[in-house]
Amino acid sequence: MASAAEQLAANFNFGAFNKATELKKRLWFVLGALVVYRLGTYIPLPGINSVALADLFSRQSGGILGQFDMFAGGALSRMSIFALNVMPYISASIIMQLMTSVVPSIEELKKEGETGRKKINQYTRYLTVVLATVQGYGIAVGLESSGSVVINPGLFFEVSTVITVVGGTMFLMWLGEQITQRGIGNGISLIIFSGIVANLPSALATTFELGRTNVLPTLLIVVLLVMSVAVIAFIVFVERAQRRIVVQYPKRQVGNRMFGGESSHMPLKLNTAGVIPPIFASSLLLMPATFAGFGGAASDGSGNSILFWITSHLGRGQPGYLLVYVSLIVFFAFFYTAIVFNPGDTADNLKKHGGFVPGIRPGKNTADYLDFVLTRLTVVGAGYLAAVCILPEILISQYNVPFYFGGTSLLIVVSVTMDTVGQVHAHMLAHQYEGLIKKSKLRGRRG
């Protein structure tokens, strides 16, 4: 079976792709959904002075709001109906996953299988509405306090803004679910990915223009480009890295024939959590900073003292920002790994099927061994995520360079691209296997 799969993968070509009609329909659906999302990022909220808004973001673009705008695909700087993007949904997912480990009733729902997951997803949607409402109101009040950005401030503007941005977030959440079900998976990740990639050409053009006008040294631009290529290669290398644990199955006799006795491998990725920790960390770190940025926190401290403290200590490149960001990435790397891989359940499944790790007793000893290996891998994986996301930040925060050269954006783009390509290959293999089965059946009938 393995050799057949390798042969099919090697023979992947555009001719086979043209025959995979189901895959093409899924890809066209994904493309159409992302086009709808991108069009929505250009539909502005009612009652906004676009000139004053552009001036506001020209002052704030070098800070935390610029990073939020990167995840939103430029929707925040244009203050469109998708200004919040899917960040409230991601924050709600974080909270629900934390509650799964803390609240016994929600933990029981998780154990109920598909029914429990549907209930948890429904609670996540409700919480998304609450968070989007709070953040939408914060944006409305912040815009009103930012000078002449709002044409007619007041209750009507606040209510209409909240309703619009909440509706936009819920629509994107639904769109992401549709991409996952009717497309090729990774719906929410593809939405964030498309927002980053869509503004990449303008970011490159801006960077080259800064170099042409001698605002940025040519050598620095070359270093940034080389660093980006090196980071991409490093991400691809680590994301493909695995620790393969040998699993042995005993021989058994059925009648006069012997079955089993073969060995296989249990692959454990070096970065089991994937791109989730940086996204989770960014979403939590952006919430207070977003309110502070729109809440009138003056750079000289003349505004609200609490908001000024947030902007001064959690600003891009500040030690507080880097420390909190690294801490959140490490925490979510361990937390999400614990959610997606349970050593106890894996050890029980191996024991039920007669499998065992050579030299390790089945049951609890196997679970402890898997937990030990996974913990060491997660330490390295968390360090890798922190390094990729933070080291470019330290360099880029000293210069006026677009966020798209940051480690977080590169990590998201590369990881989502690899996952999407993997999904496409999986669909192609499934389609080619179906074709082989049909051919074998036809030959059988002819014979």
Q: Average pLDDT of 287-306?
A: 54
Statement: residue 273 has pLDDT above 60: yes
Phi, psi of 32 (to 5 degrees): -65, -40
Residues 77 and 69: beta-carbon distance below 8 Å: yes
> Per-residue confidence at 36, pLDDT binned at 50, 70, 90?
very high
> pLDDT value at position 372?
92
Question: Is the pLDDT higher at 90 or at 302?
Answer: 90
Q: CA quadruple 279, 34, 130, 95: dihedral positive or negative?
A: negative
Question: Helix, strand, coil: what percent of the chain each, to 5?
Answer: 70, 5, 20
Least confident of 278-282, 309-313, 328-332, 426-430: 309-313
- Which tokens belong to 341? 């891989």
Report in angstroms the alpha-carbon separations of 78 from 58, 72, 165, 190, 203.
12, 10, 13, 21, 16
Confidence class for position 4, pLDDT limits 50, 70, 90: very low
Mean pLDDT of 418-433: 78
Rounded Cα distance between 262 and 248, Å, is: 6
Tokens 């895959």 appear where?
A: 23
Distance CA(7)–CA(159), nearest Å, equals: 59
How many CB atoms are located within 10 Å of the residue 210 CB? 18
DSSP sequence for 330-378:
HHHHHHHHHHH--HHHHHHHHHHTT-B-TTS-TTHHHHHHHHHHHHHHH
DSSP, collapsed to helix, strand or coil, labels residue 266 as strand
d(CA 288, CA 390): 20
Please give the share of the chain, as a percent, with pLDDT higher than 90.
Answer: 17
Percent of the chain at pLDDT exceeding 70:
77
Mean pLDDT, residues 30-56 taken together: 89
Which CATH number goes with the domain that contains 31?
A: 1.10.3370.10
Of the pLDDT bands very low, low, confident and very high (cuts 50, 70, 90), residue 106 is: confident
Q: What angle do CA 240, 390, 298 make, to 5 degrees?
A: 145
Average pLDDT over residues 8-24: 62
Q: What is the pLDDT of residue 183?
A: 86
CA end-to-end distance (rounded Å), the chain: 24
**Count: domains in the chain:** 1
Per-residue pLDDT reduced to its tens digit, 322-334: 888 899 999 989 9
Residues, the chain, total? 447
String of DSSP letters for 275-296: THHHHHHHHHHHHHHHHHHHTT
| Parent domain of 119 | 2-446
- Whether residue 111 has pLDDT greater than 80: no
Q: So what's the pLDDT on residue 442? A: 61
CA distance 109 to 121: 11
Residue 292: predicted pLDDT: 58
Q: What average pLDDT does the segment 399-412 reach?
A: 68
**pLDDT tens by residue, 191-234:** 988 888 887 887 788 778 878 888 778 888 888 788 888 888 88
| Opening angle at CA 39, ends 38 and 43, nearest 5 | 120
Report the pLDDT averaged over residues 332-348: 86
- pLDDT tens digits, residue range 169-183? 999 999 999 998 888
pLDDT at site 388: 87
pLDDT, the chain, mean: 79
